[in-house]
Structure 1
């Protein structure tokens, strides 16, 4: 999904904070999302004044959001039908696969379910689900309110593990596709194919 605002453009890719270059400067997406929120503010607000509240941040300088602004940004992140999820669905459809979505009766409400095959797929945003493979930059935790975020994200990680274990106890195979994995859709397609044809997964 692409948004445009005055002199710059940016993309919202699930919950990842993406940087786009503008006149040799970089604007963290946190700021851009804040801009989008402000633009949807009170009727009668002067748009130019609202735009003026969002300064350009030179490359290399870390953005620091207030707790209130970060809360508003995070509240806008969708829990389902995210862009990574839609990409995985398109891949599966191109493979001729038919599936169900968001099976609430199964542990963890998997994003994609194959009942006859007893397979479940979770498409995880790297930030919210704590992707920490030493390579992924999208899973980096905020420096502000570190205790809060550690508690929140560690709880999410533990919940994911518990749900996947519960699924396996029901005889389901569980596969996690991370948001950053989708940079290489060919590799994801191969993983999906192997997962769906492996009776032991």
Structure 2
């Protein structure tokens, strides 16, 4: 007798269930049983598509990293429009109001997951490393357009923006920071460069 609900795209449904759990309970309560229960399917479904739970988690993180491509293209397209600070603030809100903070916590929490992700992200924290690259590319475009000083150290500035934004959004129990707070942080980090 069948159990659970029909899954149209099992991988996406399992990923969405894991994200909901991460946002609601954090990485410590994330198990294969919890994910499949949240998705409304049998536990065997997860193992039909993934070799083990850490493989599932690695694919979840890689899927979320791949989604940065859209945000990166939008941010690069914004170069030369609005203000640099407002564009960066919007990008930080788009990035960190999602499940990104919880994903970073998951990567830090699970040693085996970090080991598997080292194959694609050999240094840094997966997702944050790729987000830093996104900001670096945007800042380089703005510098090329003359909206940032030619001598600005974007390789130092980009991770500073990411780190400061991550700290603003890191408290899962508190309300997310306001847009004004994120803009204020970005303007402070940019200093005279904006």
State TM-score, norm by structure 1. 0.42
Q: Quick check: which one's strand share is greater?
A: 1
Q: Which structure has the higher relative contact order (CA within 8 Å, separation 6+)?
A: 2
